[in-house]
Amino acid sequence: MTASPSPAPAALGCVAPAPAPHAHAWITRSRHPTSEGVVVYVQCVECGSLRTDLIAAPAAVPTAWSRIVRTP
Ligand SMILES: [Zn+2]
């Protein structure tokens, strides 16, 4: 019995190609006040990646609250 290797996900066409490396240019998609601060959903205008930021205080600089999620 021989084991055949599974095709790589890219061979199945289910994985979007990774965008070329670049500095993401985030724009705000929506803002929501919460008990932790303001949660901001941002999207890169170049590649469409998504991220969630948290602004803990009104004058604070936004910090990444999530990993970057690539969109197809
Ligand atoms: Zn980007």
Cα-to-centroid distance, 68 and ligand 1 (Å)? 9
62/48 Cα distance (integer angstroms): 19
Give the model's pLDDT for residue 1: 47
The closest of 71, 51, 45, 47 to 63, measured between CA atoms, is 51
Confidence tier at 32 by pLDDT (50, 70, 90): very high
Contacts for 55 with CB less than 8 Å, ≥ 6 apart: 37, 38, 40, 61, 62, 63
Q: How far is CA 51 from CA 10, 14, 25, 57, in A?
A: 24, 22, 11, 19
Average pLDDT for residues 34-61, to the nearest whole number?
91
27: CA distance to ligand 1 center in Å?
Answer: 10
Q: Where exactly are the structural domains of the chain? A: 29-72
| Rounded distance from Cα 3 to ligand 1 centre (Å) | 40
Q: How far is the CA of 51 from the centre of ligand 1 (A)?
A: 10
Note if the pTM is more than 0.75: no
Q: How far does CA 46 lie from the centroid of its chain?
A: 12
What's the CA-to-centroid distance between 19 and ligand 1, angstroms? 8
pLDDT of 69: 87
